[in-house]
Copies of this chain bind each other. A is one copy, B any other.
Amino acid sequence: MARSGSGESVLERVVRILEAFTPRSPVLTVGEVARRADLPVATASRLIAELIGHGLLSREEDRRVRIGTRLWELGSRASPTSSLRELALPVLEDLLRVVGHHAQLGVLDGEEVLFVERLSAEHAVINYTRIAARLPLHASSSGLVLLAYGSEILQERILAGTLTRFTPMTITDPGELRRRLADVRRQGFVLCPGFLHVDATGIAVPVRDETGHVAAAVSVIVPNDEQARGYVPVLTAGARQIERRLVSH
């Protein structure tokens, strides 16, 4: 691919521009995009104009820029997770109705969990972005499930890396994390009281595909109290339901 003087490809720059937009800053000026993407304003401006021409970005009336509907469409219509998301949605709805707060579906992406669906009650314990959010594997219930059933290479990499502390309850000791992963594999679920936020407990269970491979984690976020453990059976039943829908799909 054509490269600039700095040896960087056009595509690298385009990806950096797209990455400048986040749920908290969905609309940016050209100058803001250039700064976030670490590009000269003239370069950013030229690429943004071409991205707008293809509908991948769009311009607001105030000249600021945002992600275009076309980019969402290209990413969604043939997405590898769309059929999983679609099959899981009715189950997540039922879980939300029974458990309240948040019900979510996460997949392993790189060294993080990526939430491909998240349903939230109006007055949930904590306020979250609905979809396309990421969390570290060691600190979230979905992440611990995906890590427990992930490859040994991934486990060793995470155990050898930095285990960021979010609350006093976050597991930051590699030995303790290793024991916890073995617990997850033995019990088939994980309960994370206060790991990411002191007021919330995450509970997650694995979802297996037709081949028995863990394809996703289904999880709920509930208040951090003694009732949390009581939600494990309904969550496990929900995961089985998603698995049945995957097989008969």
Tell me the A residues contacting B by CB distance below 8 Å. Answer: 1-4, 9-12, 14-15, 18-19, 21-23, 25-26, 46-47, 50-51, 54-56, 58, 66-82, 86, 89, 93, 107, 109-110, 114, 116, 119, 129-133
Contacts and interface: CB of A to CB of B under 8 A. Distances in A.
B73 A69 contact: no
A13 to B, nearest CB: 9
Copy count, this protein chain: 2
Contacts of A74: 15, 18-19, 21, 67, 71, 75
Given A69-B107, A72-B76, A73-B114, A1 B133 contact: no
Nearest to A76: B132
A220 to B, nearest CB: 17
Contacts of A19: 74
Nearest to A58: B80
A66 B80 contact: yes
A79 B58 CA distance: 10
A84 to B, nearest CB: 11
Contact of A78 (B21, B55, B78, B80): B21
A78 B67 contact: yes
B12 A10 contact: no
Nearest to A19: B74
Contacts of A70: 109
A153 to B, nearest CB: 17
B10 A11 contact: yes
A19 B55 CA distance: 12
A72 B132 CA distance: 8
A75 to B, nearest CB: 3
A72 B69 contact: no
Given A26-B78, A77-B22, A79-B69, A50 B11 contact: yes
B10 A54 contact: no
| Those 4 A-B pairs whose CB atoms lie nearest each other, nearest first | A2-B2, A75-B75, A77-B132, A21-B78
Given A2-B2, A46-B1, A69-B109, A133 B77 contact: yes
A107 B147 CA distance: 39
